[in-house]
Structure 1
Amino acid sequence: MAISVEDSVDVLSGVGPKRLQALQDLGIFTIYDLLSYYPFRYDDMGERLPSQTMDGEKVTFKGVISTPPVVRRFGKRSQTVIGLLVDRENVRVTFFNQPWIAKNLEVGQEVAVYGTYNAARAAMTAIKLVPASIDGLSPIYPVSKAIKAKTVAELVEQAWGQVRGQMDNLVPKHLREKYRLLDKNEQVEYSHFPNDKIEAKAGRRSAAFEEFFLFQMRLQLIKQADQRFLGEALNYDRKAVSDFIKALPFELTNAQNRVVDEILADQASPQHMNRLLQGDVGSGKTVVAAIAMFASVTAGNQAAIMAPTEILAQQHAKGLAKLFDAAGIDLRVELLTSGLKAAQRRQILEDLENGDIDVVVGTHALVQEGVHFHHLGVAVIDEQHRFGVKQRAKLREGGVNPDILAMTATPIPRTLAITAYGEMEVSVIDELPAGRKKIITKQLPNRQYDQALAMLKEELAKGAQAYIVTPLIEESESLDVQNVTAVYQDLQDELQEYTVGLLHGRLPKEDKDALMAGFSDNQVQVLVSTTVIEVGVDVPNASIMLILDADRFGLAQLHQLRGRVGRGDRQSYTILLADPKTEYGKERLQALVDTTDGFELAQKDLELRGSGDILGTKQAGVPEFQVGDPVKDLTMLTIAQEEALNLVREDGWDREEDNQALVEHLSKTMASFRHFD
């Protein structure tokens, strides 16, 4: 019976319910999916002589067994050793933990063995026996415990034997010609059954571009659909906004002015704004957001800003009120969080719906049932990756499709801006305010804790304040790390002439508020804290931070923590106390010592960790590509984005005959496609 690429994989011989489930767990549902499931590497099974092989290289040796197999056992482990005469050279071949193999080997037998060659010892650590006739590259597939790579390879071979030549081209012909990409059927053939490394490379190159291109097409279609859904052209008071900017107690940087122009242009457009504002810690994103919110209010609308934590929401509410007051602007700014008393909450909700509140600042409480706006013009979402699509959409429902300005202090390298935020316009503040001194960062081993404490005491003696950050709240038997409670108790004895405060996530809200107010007013000089201060705490008088067990934190998190100092005109310091045990750990801390540029650090973090978890949590999400590597293949990813954008801008592109397979594919996948938020 003839099969097609649209058929389920269970039409293949050997695929029963159990194997079908294992394949579906890998994302393989149809024959098309199976043939698009490419190898992640190839074993070179080509036969060579020892004299032609480099030390440590994987290779296939074909020869005659010269000594009988000897099996040595060490508890549950074993070694099976034979001598293999390859041409005129004897190679000692060792199979680990395969004692049964001895039954199939005897002196004088011709065999082919694949393994790693040790040139100095003329020895091979064998991986497997291979058919004596095998030659060329053997594909290796990413699999799970439920299915072997060999099984996937056999199923691919079986499927391709029945549907060879039936794969439709998804990348348009003009792009295949422009970038010398393979036809889809050649791409499948070269990827799964390459005759040599040149074919394998060509197959991977075409498959990676196709993967990036399809992803970018989906993003562009989301963006296009979003733009068709009109918002409102904001008829804001240009003079009032200009006067507000002039009345600010500081001059905007060139980068801030550029970004403000981009945002105001979006707000004046009838298409609703969907913009991501990136800026390093301390770059002045909040004042830019304040200008956007004020512009909305001058047009008779309301503005909202949603923050991930109550501490940050309180910080924003105070900061915005202070900013507007300093400029002589009478706006009503209110805070809406889950911690409000019932009567207070009811009054704020009533005033919000009546339009008596101009700017509301809140946490997730802003998207809960019962929150209704009179007319929401702009919604600012701080630390945007901490919110999912549903929460953003719910906030949007509170107004007539209000403009969305998402902000993040986690600098995102170009790779991730293209993937995780491809459907948003991106603005970047890449300049720090004038007068900010560069934070000096040092890394010290744990044994030099006293030296670090002496530096902290020096800063306190000058009238400055300090942070000490530790990873855990309570002692842990599994992790040998400092904990915040023990450190706090020790420092109370060590720094008796100063007030030491203890801040962590389990403190009651009232205690947190009182402590932060005390630290802001310099009633508390030293704040011992967990990472709850990572975002938003702004105390210009704090000039030194000690981070204990710094190797337990991610690079982006360390940079965020460091951003809590250096916010005033004092020279500031961050001391990283750690004894990193891995090269990765050492490189990460060294990168922090070497630069204070968040974008440079984000790129370094991406190179060290890969794209999968760069924003710190899985839900922060960057798509995982099967073939392409968004770090190594950044140029290809960028080109794919440009070409997808060019294509969707063409009138009638989706009616052209050459694009019909692409259109059909996109219509099937768009339903299940999710924004990676």
Structure 2
Amino acid sequence: MQDKVSNLSGIGPKKELALKALGIETIEDLLCYYPFRYEDMATKEVSELADGQKAVIQGVVATAPVVVRFGRAKNRLNFKLLAGHDVIQITFFGQAYLKDRVQPGSDVAVYGKYDTARQSMTGMKLFSNGGSQEDIAGVYRASKKIKAQMIKQLVKKAYEEYQDVVEEIVPESTRRKFRLLNRKKMIHDMHFPKTTQEFEIARRSAIFDEFFKYEARLALLKKLDRNDAGLLIKYDNSMLKRFISALPFELTNAQKRVVNEICRDMHRPLHMNRLLQGDVGSGKTVIAAIAMYAAVTAGFQAALMAPTEILAQQHAKKLSDLFQDFGVSVCLLTGTEASKTKVKHDILERLANKEIDILVGTHALIQDPVIFKKLGLVVTDEQHRFGVNQRKALREKGENPDVLAMTATPIPRTLAITTYGEMDVSVINELPKGRKPIRTSWVKQNQMNATLDFVERQLKDGSQAYVVSPLIEESEAVDLKNAQEVFEKLEKRYAPYYKVGLLHGRMKSDEKDEIMKDFKEGKYDILVSTTVVEVGVDVPNATVMVILDADRFGLAQLHQLRGRVGRGSKASYCILCADPKTDYGKERMQTMVETTDGFVISQKDLELRGPGEVLGSRQSGLPDFRIGDPVANFNTLQAAMEEARAIILDENFEYRAENAGLIRYLRAVVLAGANFD
């Protein structure tokens, strides 16, 4: 099944490339390239047909065929068909070669689109001798370089030649448990079903098969990761308890649960690969601090990598404050420090001599000269902002250190299963005590003046405000508020009493950091910004977030923006300015007003917009399932995941005969020929 498709006769280099562009490289790929829809090929009576319906009608050719040529190399074939008591005008465009098959008196069936008013049909396919041999026919996604009909022929050829080597991947006991078809029958009935019922049964099995193969690959990666010799971090429990009791607040129950999960992992000699999910402001940084302190008490160093300099600076300051009475050395390494030769040399020397316990920084941490003496724990913040290679490079700074990845993007369970299936997931689903919920309201554009008056009252109380716009400069194509124009209007309105700053993505990184720093230090009262403030810095004094054209943002993004306020002790507000034209748009605004729970919001976003949009396809690593839908078929996905994990993590996995096909599949796909033992 892992043979190249070029093994089939008739596939030369051009066809091979065209198939590769569709994701078809092996026989397995081709046989699992299922139709995206099915046409009803069962013969219908003319009286049953609706206008515009595609269907097969059967009858006797009543008139001699006439070919009319027009334009450049274009033609039209016309004849009349007697179908029961009805005479139907049939027209085929560009298929004059069918003329010899439609002589008067011959029995034919025509598949085409019916026109009620004209009592005519535009033909697409012609069948001789009583019609199609199948009640339904699959239609394949194709391209300009390879047609759907050619794919169908290749699938047929591949099935004929390879059906006897189609191997079971889903073990027999699992197939019995979920009443699934064997793989050979499933593939046959997905491509060549005789009835709709056959296709439906096959589809159910094919969805499970697709999810199971994916989850089995993740489960194997997880097993291999666990089997990797990890570090045994024997932390000092009494020192850890003393540090936690010295915190200026009590941990929530959710934080305590997550700390126990992480510490349990660190104390095992297995490699930890854990994702820490927590809503905006749920207290992830203090969890990371506890984990890093645990590593330090065991004689290890820790690293924390953040996506921006200003975020790294914020983390370094927070950690220094938390550890000031505990003798932990915290150091910051970003592009700024790395550019100063003397400073950088001093940091690298102290790090190599283990005089630095915790190094906080940006991607500067993964540069070649950075060498840790004894790295035990790697923490990445907003982990989806780093590529796989960047995270891997940081891990390689030590001897397989434990990994804790943090994200403030709440990910619904549906996506966590598919996207981070090889990681253990910890969730903080509770906000710290005393955090005041952010009051969210939705206003129309014509209420903008009242909104700005409200902002002014907050500024008079000594607070600061964000105003977020979806664009930087005016665009003729899209009539949206833009940051530059909003900045100029607000500067004019609030001068000379209040100072307005402007922040957008086209600015250089150090320029953005400078403006954000100035806003945090109170040099600006209002910050007009595009979404670059989405992941960011704590400004406890900012109490108002105004989002213009809010209906143009995804729900998860709106939630992230809202999380920029409410960081201090004052009551905070988020005002969504939008005039959505659709019920879908209004429903999204209503969701934001009704809940501040990021997991509820991300689930709603998933239902409304789909997985690629929620995570951002580019960064998500979300699998491109061909037949299963992780949202619509969530129960099947969960069942496939549980089965795959139970089978692969079973200590007798390799010795069970029914797993032979799965093992061969995993060896071919995951291990690429590596020794499975």
Q: Given the two structures, how large is their TM-score scaled by the length of structure 1?
A: 0.89
Rounded to whole Å, the distance in 1 between the matches of 2:52 and 2:435 is 52
Is the CA contact 1:315–1:536 (under 8 Å) kept in the aligned structure 2?
Answer: no
Is the CA contact 2:76–2:95 (under 8 Å) kept in the aligned structure 1?
Answer: no
**In the alignment, structure 1 residue 140 sits paired with structure 2 residue 139:** yes
Rounded to whole Å, the distance in 2 between the matches of 1:672 and 1:57 is 48
> Do the aligned partners of residues 610 and 304 (structure 1) sit closer, same or farther apart at CA in structure 2, a change above 3 Å counting?
same
**In the alignment, structure 1 residue 228 sits paired with structure 2 residue 227:** yes
Q: Name the count of aligned residue pairs.
A: 664
Which residue does 2:10 correspond to in 1?
14
Farther-moved stretch of structure 1 (141-150 vs 440-449): 440-449
Matches within 5 A, 1:561-640: 561-580=561-580, 585-640=585-640
> Do the aligned partners of residues 383 and 92 (structure 1) sit closer, same or farther apart at CA in structure 2, a change above 3 Å counting?
farther
Which residue does 1:32 correspond to in 2?
28
Which residue does 1:504 correspond to in 2?
504
Which residue does 1:334 correspond to in 2?
331
Matches within 5 A, 1:148-227: 148-227=147-226
Rounded to whole Å, the distance in 2 between the matches of 1:224 and 1:176 is 23
Rounded to whole Å, the distance in 2 between the matches of 1:587 and 1:109 is 58
Task: Report the residue type matching 1:333 in the other structure.
Answer: V
Deviation by residue 1:489-521 (Cα, 9 ceiling, x = unmatched): 211111122121122344455554443333223
Is the CA contact 1:69–1:106 (under 8 Å) kept in the aligned structure 2?
Answer: no
- Percent identity between matched residues is 51
Rounded to whole Å, the distance in 2 between the matches of 1:475 and 1:53 is 52
**In the alignment, structure 1 residue 368 sits paired with structure 2 residue 367:** yes
Rounded to whole Å, the distance in 2 between the matches of 1:454 and 1:80 is 72
Is the CA contact 2:67–2:75 (under 8 Å) kept in the aligned structure 1?
Answer: no
> Do the aligned partners of residues 278 and 50 (structure 1) sit closer, same or farther apart at CA in structure 2, a change above 3 Å counting?
farther
Rounded to whole Å, the distance in 1 between the matches of 2:281 and 2:580 is 28
CA deviation after TM superposition for structure 1 residue 406, in Å:
0.2
> Do the aligned partners of residues 18 and 233 (structure 1) sit closer, same or farther apart at CA in structure 2, a change above 3 Å counting?
same
Rounded to whole Å, the distance in 1 between the matches of 2:78 and 2:444 is 46
Rounded to whole Å, the distance in 2 between the matches of 1:512 and 1:622 is 30
> Do the aligned partners of residues 444 and 336 (structure 1) sit closer, same or farther apart at CA in structure 2, a change above 3 Å counting?
same
What secondary structure sits across from 2:615 in the alignment? coil
**In the alignment, structure 1 residue 356 sits paired with structure 2 residue 355:** yes
CA deviation after TM superposition for structure 1 residue 595, in Å:
2.6
What secondary structure sits across from 2:233 in the alignment? coil
> Do the aligned partners of residues 191 and 600 (structure 1) sit closer, same or farther apart at CA in structure 2, a change above 3 Å counting?
same
> Do the aligned partners of residues 455 and 74 (structure 1) sit closer, same or farther apart at CA in structure 2, a change above 3 Å counting?
farther
What secondary structure sits across from 1:339 in the alignment? helix
Is the CA contact 2:288–2:379 (under 8 Å) kept in the aligned structure 1?
Answer: yes
What secondary structure sits across from 1:646 in the alignment? helix
Aligned-pair RMSD on alpha carbons? 3.3
Which residue does 1:520 correspond to in 2?
520
Rounded to whole Å, the distance in 1 between the matches of 2:66 and 2:326 is 90
**In the alignment, structure 1 residue 131 sits paired with structure 2 residue 127:** yes
> Do the aligned partners of residues 79 and 358 (structure 1) sit closer, same or farther apart at CA in structure 2, a change above 3 Å counting?
farther
What secondary structure sits across from 1:131 in the alignment? strand
What secondary structure sits across from 2:336 in the alignment? coil
- Structure 1 gaps of 5+ residues are none
Deviation by residue 1:89-148 (Cα, 9 ceiling, x = unmatched): 5778898xx4777995899987644456687x6878857234251141111122222211
CA deviation after TM superposition for structure 1 residue 610, in Å:
2.5
> Do the aligned partners of residues 102 and 186 (structure 1) sit closer, same or farther apart at CA in structure 2, a change above 3 Å counting?
closer
Is the CA contact 2:32–2:187 (under 8 Å) kept in the aligned structure 1?
Answer: yes
Rounded to whole Å, the distance in 2 between the matches of 1:241 and 1:363 is 27
What secondary structure sits across from 1:468 in the alignment? strand
Task: Report the residue type matching 1:624 in the other structure.
Answer: D
CA deviation after TM superposition for structure 1 residue 231, in Å:
2.0
Deviation by residue 1:313-342 (Cα, 9 ceiling, x = unmatched): 1221122223334xx334322211112222
Rounded to whole Å, the distance in 1 between the matches of 2:552 and 2:273 is 35
Rounded to whole Å, the distance in 2 between the matches of 1:562 and 1:629 is 30
Is the CA contact 1:543–1:570 (under 8 Å) kept in the aligned structure 2?
Answer: yes
CA deviation after TM superposition for structure 1 residue 64, in Å:
6.5
**In the alignment, structure 1 residue 47 sits paired with structure 2 residue 32:** no
Rounded to whole Å, the distance in 2 between the matches of 1:649 and 1:262 is 20
Deviation by residue 1:9-58 (Cα, 9 ceiling, x = unmatched): 33434323211221122232333332222222211111223544567754
Rounded to whole Å, the distance in 2 between the matches of 1:609 and 1:144 is 26
CA deviation after TM superposition for structure 1 residue 454, in Å:
2.9
> Do the aligned partners of residues 13 and 543 (structure 1) sit closer, same or farther apart at CA in structure 2, a change above 3 Å counting?
same
Matches within 5 A, 1:354-433: 354-433=353-432
Is the CA contact 2:320–2:330 (under 8 Å) kept in the aligned structure 1?
Answer: yes
Task: Report the residue type matching 2:416 in the other structure.
Answer: A
**In the alignment, structure 1 residue 663 sits paired with structure 2 residue 663:** yes
CA deviation after TM superposition for structure 1 residue 459, in Å:
2.6
Rounded to whole Å, the distance in 2 between the matches of 1:221 and 1:667 is 10
Is the CA contact 1:113–1:128 (under 8 Å) kept in the aligned structure 2?
Answer: yes
Is the CA contact 1:69–1:102 (under 8 Å) kept in the aligned structure 2?
Answer: no
CA deviation after TM superposition for structure 1 residue 80, in Å:
10
Is the CA contact 2:543–2:573 (under 8 Å) kept in the aligned structure 1?
Answer: yes
Deviation by residue 1:169-220 (Cα, 9 ceiling, x = unmatched): 1111111111111111111111111111111111112122122111111111
CA deviation after TM superposition for structure 1 residue 570, in Å:
3.2
Matches within 5 A, 1:430-449: 430-449=429-448
Rounded to whole Å, the distance in 2 between the matches of 1:41 and 1:237 is 61
Task: Report the residue type matching 1:49 in the other structure.
Answer: E
Rounded to whole Å, the distance in 1 between the matches of 2:500 and 2:482 is 15
> Do the aligned partners of residues 587 and 46 (structure 1) sit closer, same or farther apart at CA in structure 2, a change above 3 Å counting?
farther
> Do the aligned partners of residues 509 and 150 (structure 1) sit closer, same or farther apart at CA in structure 2, a change above 3 Å counting?
closer
**In the alignment, structure 1 residue 266 sits paired with structure 2 residue 265:** yes
> Do the aligned partners of residues 528 and 268 (structure 1) sit closer, same or farther apart at CA in structure 2, a change above 3 Å counting?
same
What secondary structure sits across from 2:432 in the alignment? coil
Farther-moved stretch of structure 1 (461-470 vs 571-580): 571-580
Rounded to whole Å, the distance in 2 between the matches of 1:614 and 1:199 is 35
> Do the aligned partners of residues 439 and 100 (structure 1) sit closer, same or farther apart at CA in structure 2, a change above 3 Å counting?
farther
Rounded to whole Å, the distance in 1 between the matches of 2:511 and 2:27 is 60
2:56 to 60, 65, 70: 60
> Do the aligned partners of residues 57 and 439 (structure 1) sit closer, same or farther apart at CA in structure 2, a change above 3 Å counting?
farther
Is the CA contact 2:305–2:312 (under 8 Å) kept in the aligned structure 1?
Answer: yes
Rounded to whole Å, the distance in 2 between the matches of 1:72 and 1:410 is 61
Rounded to whole Å, the distance in 2 between the matches of 1:435 and 1:83 is 81
Matches within 5 A, 1:251-330: 251-325=250-324, 328-330=325-327
> Do the aligned partners of residues 290 and 662 (structure 1) sit closer, same or farther apart at CA in structure 2, a change above 3 Å counting?
same
Is the CA contact 1:115–1:124 (under 8 Å) kept in the aligned structure 2?
Answer: no
Is the CA contact 2:76–2:96 (under 8 Å) kept in the aligned structure 1?
Answer: no
**In the alignment, structure 1 residue 530 sits paired with structure 2 residue 530:** yes
Task: Report the residue type matching 2:28 in the other structure.
Answer: Y
CA deviation after TM superposition for structure 1 residue 273, in Å:
1.3
What secondary structure sits across from 1:516 in the alignment? helix
What secondary structure sits across from 1:380 in the alignment? strand
- Structure 2 gaps of 5+ residues are none
Which residue does 1:485 correspond to in 2?
484
What secondary structure sits across from 2:614 in the alignment? coil
Is the CA contact 2:2–2:28 (under 8 Å) kept in the aligned structure 1?
Answer: yes
What secondary structure sits across from 2:335 in the alignment? coil
CA deviation after TM superposition for structure 1 residue 73, in Å:
11
